Structures are given as structure tokens and as C-alpha cells.
Structure 1
Amino acid sequence: MTEVDLTTPGAWEQTESLTLLREVMGLESGVRSHLAGAAGLSETEVHALEHLARAPIGPAEIARLLDVSTAASTGIVDRLEARGHVERRPHVSDRRRTEVVLTASARREVVSHLGEMFGALARLDASLSDSERAVVVRYLRGAVEAAARAS
């Protein structure tokens, strides 16, 4: 891997891939804002749903991921539960804990607002060969790691 000197002006090239990655990263908040407005949710509630779409997690983990207090996290989960977007369930391996699970109706609501984008991304992904996809995955995984270190 080539070491990049970021301290010298002009020492690294702003390539098209870096420019496009920054553009995609910048679009995230716009997509979240659009979904929040269309679904009648706050952007924080949409952000919680994004995390829950990956896997069930507990309210304390939601608080950590959203950088809010556990009391605020409880309020977020309460509001999402009242709308039928999540359910609280006993944790699979530790009955003392609760996990929050995304419901099928929440997935349907998100798809109703973002389905066109999801479809276009799925078609784009399907157009890649396995070797092309491996390069994209390696690049994006590295981008995720770099962004995670910055936050």
C-alpha cells in the first residue's frame, strides 16, 4: 500500500473515485432526510432503523450508536414501536436483556419510499462480475474503515 503524505499541499491526487465516494457519502444525509419527511419520522428515528435493519440490537446499543442517552434511546424505541416499526423482544441468549427488532411493516415503509433507489443499486450490483464486485467490496470496506476511524 502506498503511503500518502497529506501534510504537503498537492501531495495526493483527488481522483474521480475519491470524488464520487465523497459525493455518495454526502448523499446519505439527504436520503435520510427524504425518508424521514416521507415517513413522518425524525432523522434520528430513521438512523435507528438503519442500524436495526442490519440486526436486532438492544436499547443501550442504540443509544451508543446514535450518541444519545439511554433515556433518549428509550423514547426513540417507544415512538418507533408505537408506529409498528419495531418490537421489543427478550434477548435470545440473555433473558434479562431486551432486543429491538425491525418489523416487516417498517421494511415495507422504507421500500415504499426508497424502492426505486434500491432497485437501481441492485441492478448495478448484478451487472458486476464476481471479480469486479470483489474490487468494489475491498474499496468500500476500506472506505468504511477509514470513515469509522475519523468518527
Structure 2
Amino acid sequence: MTSSARGSRRAAMSPTTGRDRLPGRRPVESPGAGNAVMERLQEVGVLTRVVEQGLSGALGINATDLAAMEHLTTDGPLTAKDLADRLRVSTAASTHIVDRLEKAGHIVRRPHPTDRRKVMVEPVAESMDRLFGHLRPLLRGVEGLVEALAPRDRDVVEAFLAGVVQVYTDTADSFPQG
């Protein structure tokens, strides 16, 4: 393949997924087009979903169940109600999610330590090991990038990302729940 053929081939590839675009089709112009930082954030968003799809498939669960596992991993054991709140679904939907995860061997139900009317949902260690086994290369790669930053640059990146998190939080809070 000649270098000009490779160049034209690249032009037909999506920068986010590396997959072919349809011939003669251009991507929809996004509001951040032309702004390299906005374009990189868009790529991170798209690739995050690609990784989530891969993780879901590897764990044999759907995207909502994976989101539940993420909350349990981040926040520790939760009640089904707390999980419903974090997922922005009804408690009935949360119960179905917990049922599926339990059946798949990813979580266990345990009595609440102080309120016997409640049940805590917690991830199974073996399931967490599988999850982090798949995520380890990504986490190490990002950690390496962070460690390579000068302290001042790290502070700038952290402040920027904190602002992005706040914008995402505000946007998420603007949508109706459940």
C-alpha cells in the first residue's frame, strides 16, 4: 500500500474508533469541532463506552448492570434503594438489577449491620478481580501518564478535570430521575 493510499485510508477512518466510515460520509459537526481539547474529551467519551461494552461482554452482563457494579466498587456495599438512587432508576428496577447480578455471581446480599429490615448488596471478590484484571492495563496506562506530569501540570489537569466533573454533575442533575 502506498503512503498516499494509507493517507486516504486514514481519512476514511474514525479517529475515535479506528473503524471505517461510510464512503462519502462526513461526521456530524459537533459543537466542539476545531477545539482540540473538546475533540479529545469527545474521543474519551466514545472510547469509554467502547471499553464499557467490552467489560460488559467479558463479565456477561449488560451496561446497566456494569454501572451498578461500578457504584458498588466505588462506594462499597449499598442497599438496593441507594443503588437505585445512584443509577437513577426505580427501586423495582434496582431489584431486577441486583437479581441479575446475584444470579451471575457478581454480588451477594447480606443483612444490613444496623437495620434488619434492609439488605446490603456487595460485590463478590472474584468478580472484582475479573473486573480489575480487564481494567488493569487501562488504569496503569493512565496512572503512568499522570505520574509523568510535572507537579504544576498535574495540578492544572486536576483542576480542569474537576471542572469537567462539575459540568457533568450539573447536567446529570438536570435530567428527571427514574
Q: TM-score per shorter chain, which class?
A: 0.7 to 0.9
1:33 is the counterpart of 2:33: no
1:47 is the counterpart of 2:67: yes
Counterparts of residues 62-141 of structure 1 (less than 5 Å) = 62-141=83-162
Separation in structure 2 between the aligned mates of residue 61 and residue 144 of structure 1, nearest angstrom:
21
Aligned to 1:3: none
Which SS does the other structure have where 1:25 is aligned? helix
Provide closer, same or farther for how the CA distance between residues 71 and 23 of structure 1 changes in structure 2, counting only shifts above 3 A: same
Separation in structure 1 between the aligned mates of residue 107 and residue 73 of structure 2, nearest angstrom:
10
Which SS does the other structure have where 2:96 is aligned? helix
Q: CA deviation at 1:30?
A: 1.5
Equivalent pairs counted in the alignment come to: 140
* Bigger Cα displacement from structure 2, 59-68 vs 40-49: 59-68
Separation in structure 2 between the aligned mates of residue 143 and residue 83 of structure 1, nearest angstrom:
34
Separation in structure 1 between the aligned mates of residue 156 and residue 115 of structure 2, nearest angstrom:
39
Q: Normalising by structure 2, what TM-score?
A: 0.68
Q: Normalising by structure 1, what TM-score?
A: 0.79
Q: CA deviation at 1:81?
A: 2.0
**Residue type of the alignment partner of 2:80:** P
Identity %: 36
Q: CA deviation at 1:95?
A: 4.4
Separation in structure 2 between the aligned mates of residue 109 and residue 102 of structure 1, nearest angstrom:
12
**What 5-or-longer segments of structure 2 have no aligned partner?**
1-31, 173-178
Q: CA deviation at 1:63?
A: 1.6
Separation in structure 1 between the aligned mates of residue 157 and residue 68 of structure 2, nearest angstrom:
26
Q: CA deviation at 1:94?
A: 4.1
**What 5-or-longer segments of structure 1 have no aligned partner?**
1-11
RMSD over aligned CA atoms reads 2.2
Which SS does the other structure have where 2:165 is aligned? helix
For the 8 Å contact 1:84–1:105, the answer to whether it is kept is: no
For the 8 Å contact 2:33–2:39, the answer to whether it is kept is: no
